[in-house]
A = this chain, B = another copy of it.
Amino acid sequence: MLFMVQMTVKKPHDIDPAVWADIIAREREYGQKFMKNGKFPHIWRVVGKFSNVSIFDVESTDELHQILSNFPLFPYMEMEVTALAKHPSALN
Which A residues lie at the B interface, using CB under 8 A?
1-5, 11-15, 27-28, 31-32, 35-36, 42-49, 52-53, 60-62, 64-66, 68-69, 75-76, 79-91
Contacts and interface: CB of A to CB of B under 8 A. Distances in A.
B48 A81 contact: yes
23 contacts: A2-B61, A11-B75, A13-B75, A28-B89, A32-B89, A35-B89, A35-B90, A36-B91, A44-B90, A45-B86, A46-B83, A47-B61, A47-B82, A47-B84, A48-B64, A48-B65, A48-B68, A48-B83, A49-B81, A64-B83, A81-B82, A81-B83, A83-B83
SS class, residues of chain A in contact with chain B: mixed
